[in-house]
């Protein structure tokens, strides 16, 4: 009997520039800064640039892990597939589940600012109206879902438009901030802001590091799109490496500009949108609202990339049989896992509406969103460990392998595990139980696939790079 061909995504579509745009948009620079800068400042004060820098360096170890794991095997499931085949099928499933839970929760939380900042632009009087925000946020959720269903090229074109406008606004604001604050800054810039010794205590550093992890999260969407990329073994890995450098520069530049140009009171009073407050300082009360447009586009763009990550991970899991096969299906006309988009749209809208109007659901959602970083730490750390285990036979073949396949991913894994473990007590028992509890829920479908369906993914032989079968791993310098 002829073996049934597995469904496949539309390949050879995304160029290197497309993938870089996706990696940057996945982290949503304007949204991350607007929503999190005041929180980071509240946690570490003037050491905010240091928190982003010294968390970004180990984060690059995770990027290296994704780069080399993608060279081994492009897979829409990315960390789910790589962890499962290098370490353990059970851990692989939980890594994928962590991404699905965290990205879905993030989409639900992101729909709120998407609605409010849109109303800020078109009907400011309604920007604090709960019903209006819910309706507009839901509309954006539906629009983004339709774009993701209709094909990766359409999705990418929309992403190009949104991200280009966002980055142009940020670039102009950066230039104006350098010129204006260089002369009339509230606080003169100090290099000590970037020092690893800028933190008053280890606990303060750990707190800042977890927040910084949330800043950077999302670049790995380019890896989830590897099956749809040109030169699928190389381009997604290069894209995430370039993307993380761009993001580090944007985050450092704007965090420094905020601290130079705004007083601590102004920063703490701008928790909802510190970029808007910065824009008013830079351009005045009228034109300054252009920063709201950047945040709006960034928020909508990251709704799209989060949905891409979830639908591609679900597709890979359905294809492997660890979830019902319906999740591994492809729409005949659009070439996308459209069924997955519909499922996530329904779940997301339900959670979004309920969390806005039912206090009990809202509390649970708030606690779960607060624990997203723990879920991200979990699957990023597993990916970093996986690259070491998979390439163990060539780790010490040359200096490049020692650095990029061993030391940097090891630093990343240790850093992430340390940050996550030390921050569990500080998040509070409710946040821990809700956030980690949602991760633990993944054990149920995992056991169903493992013990009931006996899915081959859980029982396959763990794979390792064989230098006898291929040429040695090339280092990035090659």
Write down the H helix ranges in 87-151: 89-122, 130-149
Task: Specify whether the CB–CB gap between 40 and 212 falls below 8 A.
Answer: yes
Q: For residue 374, what are the contacts with CB-CB under 8 A and spacing of at least 6?
A: 420, 423, 424, 427, 432, 435, 436, 439
Q: What is the mean pLDDT of the chain?
A: 88
Domains recognised in the chain with CATH numbers = 19-458 (1.20.1740.10)
Residue 366: its pLDDT value, please?
62
Least confident of 38-42, 85-89, 222-226, 315-319: 38-42
Q: Which one-letter DSSP state was computed for residue 201? A: S
Compute how many other C-beta atoms are within 10 angstroms of the C-beta atom of residue 26. 29
Q: What is the pLDDT of residues 112-165, one digit of tens each?
A: 888 888 888 888 888 778 888 889 989 999 999 999 999 999 999 999 999 999
Q: Tokens 């929180």 identify what position? A: 39
DSSP 6-49: PP----S-B-HHHHHHHHHHHH-HHHHHHHHHHHHHHHHGGGHH
Q: State the burial class of residue 273 (Cβ atoms within 10 Å of its Cβ: 0-12, 13-18, 19+).
A: buried
DSSP 281-319: HHH-TTGGGHHHHHHHHHHHHHHHHHHHHHHHHHHHHHH
Q: Which two tokens stand for residue 244?
A: 């993380």
Residue 420: its pLDDT value, please?
86
Q: Which two tokens stand for residue 293?
A: 């447009």
* pLDDT higher than 80, residue 254: yes
Q: State the burial class of residue 2 (Cβ atoms within 10 Å of its Cβ: 0-12, 13-18, 19+).
A: exposed
Give dist(CA 236, CA 67) in Å, integer: 7
Q: What is the pLDDT of residues 3-39, one digit of tens each?
A: 456 778 888 999 999 999 999 999 999 999 988 888 8
- 78: region left, alpha or beta (phi > 0 left; psi from -120 to 50 alpha): left
Q: For residue 177, what are the contacts with CB-CB under 8 A and spacing of at least 6?
A: 253, 254, 257, 260, 261, 278, 282
Compute how many other C-beta atoms are within 10 angstroms of the C-beta atom of residue 94. 23
Q: Which one-letter DSSP state was computed for residue 327? A: G
Compute how many other C-beta atoms are within 10 angstroms of the C-beta atom of residue 343. 16
* Number of residues that make up the chain: 478
> Taking the complete model, does pTM exceed 0.85, yes or no?
yes
CA distances from 87 to 21, 91, 203, 447 (A): 31, 7, 31, 17
Task: Specify whether the CB–CB gap between 219 and 23 falls below 8 A.
Answer: yes
pLDDT winner (highest mean) among 152-161, 167-176, 382-391: 382-391
């Amino acid at each position: 009997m002829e073996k049934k061909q597995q469904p496949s995504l539309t390949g050879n579509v995304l160029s290197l520039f497309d993938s870089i745009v996706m990696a940057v948009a996945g982290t949503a620079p304007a949204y991350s800064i607007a929503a999190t800068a005041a929180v980071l400042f509240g946690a570490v004060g003037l050491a905010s640039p240091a928190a982003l820098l010294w968390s970004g360096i180990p984060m690059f170890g995770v990027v290296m892990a994704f780069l080399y794991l993608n060279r081994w095997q492009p897979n829409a499931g990315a960390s789910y597939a790589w962890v499962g085949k290098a370490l353990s099928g059970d851990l692989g499933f939980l890594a994928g589940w962590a991404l699905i839970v965290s990205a879905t929760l993030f989409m639900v939380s992101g729909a709120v600012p998407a609605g409010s900042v849109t109303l800020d632009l078109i009907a400011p009087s309604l920007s604090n109206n709960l019903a209006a925000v819910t309706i507009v946020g839901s509309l954006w959720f539906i629009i983004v879902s339709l774009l993701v269903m209709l094909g990766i090229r359409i999705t990418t074109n929309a992403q190009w438009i949104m991200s280009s406008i966002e980055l142009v606004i940020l670039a102009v604001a950066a230039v104006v901030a350098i010129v204006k604050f260089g002369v009339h800054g509230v606080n003169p810039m100090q290099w000590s802001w970037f020092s690893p010794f800028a933190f008053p205590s280890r606990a303060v550093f750990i707190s800042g590091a977890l927040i910084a992890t949330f800043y950077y999260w999302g670049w790995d969407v380019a890896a989830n799109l590897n099956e749809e990329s040109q030169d699928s073994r190389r381009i997604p890995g290069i894209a995430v490496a370039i993307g993380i450098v761009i993001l580090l520069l944007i985050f450092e530049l704007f965090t420094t500009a905020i601290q130079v140009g705004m007083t601590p009171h102004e920063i703490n009073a701008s928790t909802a949108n510190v970029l808007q407050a910065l824009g008013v300082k830079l351009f005045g009360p009228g034109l300054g609202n252009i920063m709201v447009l950047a945040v709006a586009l960034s928020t909508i763009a990251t709704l799209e990339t989060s949905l891409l990550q979830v639908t591609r991970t679900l597709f890979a899991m359905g294809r492997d049989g660890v979830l019902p096969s319906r999740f591994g299906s492809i729409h005949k006309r659009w070439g996308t896992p459209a069924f997955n988009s519909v499922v996530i749209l329904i779940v997301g809208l339900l959670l979004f509406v309920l969390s806005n109007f039912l206090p009990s659901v809202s509390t649970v959602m708030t606690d779960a969103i607060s624990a997203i970083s723990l879920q991200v730490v979990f699957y990023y750390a597993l990916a970093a460990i996986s690259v070491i285990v998979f390439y163990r036979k060539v780790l010490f073949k040359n200096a490049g392998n020692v650095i990029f396949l061993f030391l940097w991913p090891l630093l990343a894994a240790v850093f992430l595990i340390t940050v996550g473990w030390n921050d569990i007590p500080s998040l509070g028992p409710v946040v821990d139980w809700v956030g980690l509890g949602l991760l633990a829920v993944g054990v149920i479908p995992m056991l169903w696939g493992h013990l009931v369906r006996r899915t081959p993914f859980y029982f396959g032989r763990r794979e390792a790079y064989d230098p006898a079968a291929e040429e040695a791993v090339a280092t990035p310098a090659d």
